[in-house]
Structure 1
Amino acid sequence: MVTRVSGSAAAQKIAPKLAGEMAARVARSVQKNVTRAVSGSLGLSGERMSKVDTAWLRMDSDTNLMMIVGVWQLAPGVKYAAVCERIENSLLKYERFRQRVVEDAAGATWVNDRNFDLARHVVLEQLPSSANQEPALQDRVAELATQRLDPKRPLWQIHLIEDYLGADGVKGSAMIVRIHHCIADGIALISVTMLLVDGGAPPPERRKKDAAAHGAEDWLTDLFRDTLLKPFTDITVKALGAMGDGAARSLGLLGDPKKGLEHGLEQGLKSSVDMARVLFQVLSDTAALALMPDDAKTRLKGKPGGVKKVAWCEPIPLEEVKAVGKALNCSINDVLLSCVAGALGEYLKSHGDDVSGQEIRAVVPVNLRPLEQAHQLGNRFGLVPLVLPIGVDNPIERVYEVRRRMAALKGSYQPLLAFSLLAVAGLMIKPAQDMMLNLFSKKTTAVMTNVPGPREKLKFCGATLEQSLFWVPQSGDVGLGVSILSYGGGVQFGVITDSLLCPDPQRIIDEFVPEFARLSIVTLMLPWGEEG
């Protein structure tokens, strides 16, 4: 009897130990499987795509492809062999431009293309002969904007027209560049552009991450930190910087809780107040995004058909824009966005539409990366909804209204919230992601970018880069894209539209210069004092 009791006691001691060991083995097995799935090591050797980039990869639709499309106009012309040599020695230094994408249930992985052939990515083209080939170039850009990149190859392509005759009658060359948004955002690609031009520096060396070395728990921690905390601490505080030093300290503590415990009571109380301000702002911005009403119903809003049209104008002198902004105590951005609102309003009025009191919403990308990290590929930007007062006819009143609305966005966490939304969307299956992101297209008429470029004109393969334009993609049912790019002492407007919603974007473009002229004239007519 004593033996039976002893055996039972031993069994009672051994059973929990065995159960614990079994549970540990199961946990390790689950962790290993999750790690393999997350790291993309299920039969693949490559680099895992970030969740935000995955969201952009999956966002392609029949009517809107997620490609950044750009145009370079060069004088004199350049030759195909020289362009290929330049790309081989600069762009291809980035591994990403030699890698294709392989998707799986958990996301996507960058994998080296063993059959990479530069001739597939640099294509020689010829436009119909004409005294002015600009309309043909615009048609070709619009056509390529609707053609998918080969998913079995790296997701980029350059189309070179060696002999191009522009509207100014100068002989040269033109390059049409297409890069899928999952590779990088506009700010990163401008940095990449600096590698292509004459005298460009090589890309910095980057360290590869050993994803397989991290367990599932480490990956989940990294995901939480990189998706939610790092944008606060490393990006948003530097980019928006409107909440003051106290808020910056609070956000730093959020990213490093251990450091927060080391602060004294007084410092902790002050940080708590700052944190409350930050959280209140975040909640307010979250509510503003969630409760944002559907956009106004104009002829520019509707179901796109999938055929694109492209147009652009000659550059406006940047010094003149600066002078108007200085006279009105407004930023260059305020002046340019006011011209966009005026041009869209005039276009709608020319079609007989009543725009009195009307306004439309444009989504504007906001950079969320420190400038010293501009060379890094991937997507690190947020989105803010800007309401354009297209129904305000007085140009002075309109520019001040734009300034007021831009000021209201300063200090907002909406760009960060949109960035986090894209990260979360990248975790979802495509139908759920589409449903989530299509909510934005109902509330938006246009996607608009305003990017400052180099002040001096650049050289490429010995030729001068005379004009540079690019358009970011529109998602969902958004059918209008507006691009503003300052370069070489000028500011240039470009428009890309869905032909079903706007069959002639040139009529919008033709309104930009007159709108700026109206604003300039009215500014000169204001009752300035001696100082003015």
Structure 2
Amino acid sequence: MDRLTPLSYAFLAAEDVDPAACLVIGSMAVLDGPTPSLAELRELVAGRLPSVPRYRQRVVSTSLGLRGPAWVDAPAVEVADHVTARRVPAPGGRREVAALVAEVMAERMDRDRPLWDVTLCEGLADGQWGLLSRVHHALADGVSGTGLYRVLFDAETADAHDGQNGITRLPPLPPGAAPGVALRGLGTTALAAARGTVALGASMWPVSRSGLVGPLAGDRRYAWTEVSISESAEVRHALGVTVNDLVIASVAGGLRELLLDRGHQPDPHALRSLLPVSSRTPGTAGVPDNQVTLMLSLLPVEIDDPVERVRAAHERVARLRSAREPEAGVAWQAVAGLVPFPVLRFWMRTALRLPQQSVATVTTNVPGPREPMTCLGRPVQHLLPVVPIADRVRIGFCILSYVDHLVFGITADAASTPEVEQLAANVGASWRAVVDA
């Protein structure tokens, strides 16, 4: 029986303790017409579903709760329950698409069914249509979550952009391995993990009060901005930085403007972001599970100059890597796997109920398909990524590459962050300010 890892279970626990949390990840593919019928789409998914076994399984808890929940085959998968349709309100432009994405992404999944779904979005402007695909974070991380593309799209999804984000890959916890085996495998890096734990502990200091950390309402807002990867090649070479450094600096630039617009003077301790780090080895992008660790970085929102902001982002991430923060995350996941499940469940739910003040946002950079994709012969023009928010984090950034495009998708708590469209515009402007410098 394939049991959920402690990290995968944590995403379910976060929903259990917070009624406003919805831990699903997703993306909206925007395609040229003509729009297929719902029957055509359901037939397509039904024919390809056998190739992805995890999408035919559901989460089942043990009767006494002495062992963790596990993935088991669902008695039957009714494709009609998972593939539905909605119409984007007229005129079907950017604002209407964003509103529909926000609405759907805030809806929780039925845990009695496999934890994925697809929404056919009709009525987009210019004769376009959309596919909004979602998977629960307990099922997949951002990299493996793109595995749903294999069910929807005609062309095979290309492997992830290894090295695009400039973050060294770490040895993953072997899927299905006993926690003790995984822990022994970390023996050679025990000192590194200890150093990383000290660094992570220092990162738990509360950030400055800015209104970006606090309780969530149930509704969400969504916006996005799109930039070109190739246009940044010259400045990346000149500065000796990566795409990921530019991403972090652009997010920091957008948040800096948000703070200034709200009357806050950005300071070096204003905003800390959780930076997920993939611990996958090449060729495992399609394995549906969570192979990810983290770093916690203060964003350089106090720096006005866009080029200096990129340099600062690069230096801060480099320091965290040298301090072995990601290795600490891997080690603690292995330790959590040794803890009896009733104790782990109590500890997780207790921790998630505490009002954290250390992390203000999440910034995740997911390598997407390198080649253009099609669905039922229709070309995919854009991929809009969506990241969930929870645990008092009111704004989340998911950055997804598609061919030469890089899209910043921003999910925000509707009640506390009504200016998400302006935030997206500021992030794009911050990127272009560096490229044009």
Could you state the TM-score of these two structures normalised by the residue count of structure 2? 0.86
Measured at CA, do residues 123 and 396 of structure 1 come closer, stay the same or move farther in structure 2, by a change above 3 Å? same
Residue aligning to 1:263: none
Check the 8 A contact 2:274/2:297 in 1, yes or no: yes
Shift of 1:403: 1.1
Distance 2:415 2:335 in 1: 32
Shift of 1:102: 1.4
After superposition, residues 346-425 of structure 1 pair within 5 angstroms as: 346-422=257-333
Measured at CA, do residues 409 and 290 of structure 1 come closer, stay the same or move farther in structure 2, by a change above 3 Å? closer
After superposition, residues 177-216 of structure 1 pair within 5 angstroms as: 177-194=133-150, 196-200=152-156
Task: Map Cα deviations across residues 468-506 of structure 1 (whole Å, 9 max, x no partner).
Answer: 122232331111101112212122111101123212211
**Is 2:419 the partner of 1:459?**
no
Name the SS of the counterpart of 2:391 in structure 1.
coil
Q: 1:331 aligns with which of 242, 257, 260?
A: 242
Higher relative contact order by CA 8 Å / sep ≥ 6: 1 or 2? 2
Task: Map Cα deviations across residues 402-437 of structure 1 (whole Å, 9 max, x no partner).
Answer: 111121122443224324445655734544212335
Count of matched residue pairs: 409
Q: 2:195 aligns with which of 284, 306, 311?
A: 284
Measured at CA, do residues 55 and 425 of structure 1 come closer, stay the same or move farther in structure 2, by a change above 3 Å? farther
Name the SS of the counterpart of 2:14 in structure 1.
coil
Name the SS of the counterpart of 2:294 in structure 1.
strand
Measured at CA, do residues 402 and 50 of structure 1 come closer, stay the same or move farther in structure 2, by a change above 3 Å? closer
Residue aligning to 1:76: 33
Residue aligning to 2:219: 307
Distance 1:483 1:399 in 2: 18
Shift of 1:390: 0.5
**Is 2:209 the partner of 1:297?**
yes
Residue aligning to 2:87: 126
Name the SS of the counterpart of 1:442 in structure 2.
coil
**Is 2:70 the partner of 1:159?**
no
Q: 1:175 aligns with which of 131, 137, 145?
A: 131
Residue aligning to 1:100: 58
Check the 8 A contact 2:180/2:334 in 1, yes or no: no
Residue aligning to 2:96: 136
Residue aligning to 1:443: 358
Distance 1:440 1:107 in 2: 25
User: Which amino acid letter does the alignment assign opposite residue 56 of structure 1?
Assistant: F
Task: Map Cα deviations across residues 311-353 of structure 1 (whole Å, 9 max, x no partner).
Answer: 112x212111222211222212212211111111011111222
User: Which amino acid letter does the alignment assign opposite residue 215 of structure 2?
Assistant: K
Distance 1:71 1:424 in 2: 36
User: Which amino acid letter does the alignment assign opposite residue 187 of structure 1?
Assistant: V
The structure with the greater share of residues assigned to helix is: 1
Shift of 1:381: 0.6
Identity %: 27
Shift of 1:221: 9.1
Q: 2:254 aligns with which of 343, 358, 367?
A: 343
Check the 8 A contact 1:52/1:419 in 2, yes or no: no
Check the 8 A contact 1:301/1:501 in 2, yes or no: no
Name the SS of the counterpart of 1:410 in structure 2.
helix
Check the 8 A contact 2:372/2:379 in 1, yes or no: yes
Name the SS of the counterpart of 1:392 in structure 2.
coil
Distance 1:221 1:335 in 2: 36
Distance 2:131 2:148 in 1: 16
Check the 8 A contact 2:389/2:412 in 1, yes or no: no
Name the SS of the counterpart of 1:342 in structure 2.
helix
Residue aligning to 1:53: 8
User: Which amino acid letter does the alignment assign opposite residue 124 of structure 1?
Assistant: A
Task: Map Cα deviations across residues 15-50 of structure 1 (whole Å, 9 max, x no partner).
Answer: xxxxxxxxxxxxxxxxxxxxxxxxxxxxxxx54333
Could you state the TM-score of these two structures normalised by the residue count of structure 1? 0.72
Distance 2:150 2:75 in 1: 27
Measured at CA, do residues 102 and 390 of structure 1 come closer, stay the same or move farther in structure 2, by a change above 3 Å? same
Residue aligning to 2:428: 513
Q: 1:317 aligns with which of 225, 228, 231?
A: 228
Shift of 1:378: 1.1
Measured at CA, do residues 440 and 409 of structure 1 come closer, stay the same or move farther in structure 2, by a change above 3 Å? farther
Check the 8 A contact 2:207/2:269 in 1, yes or no: no
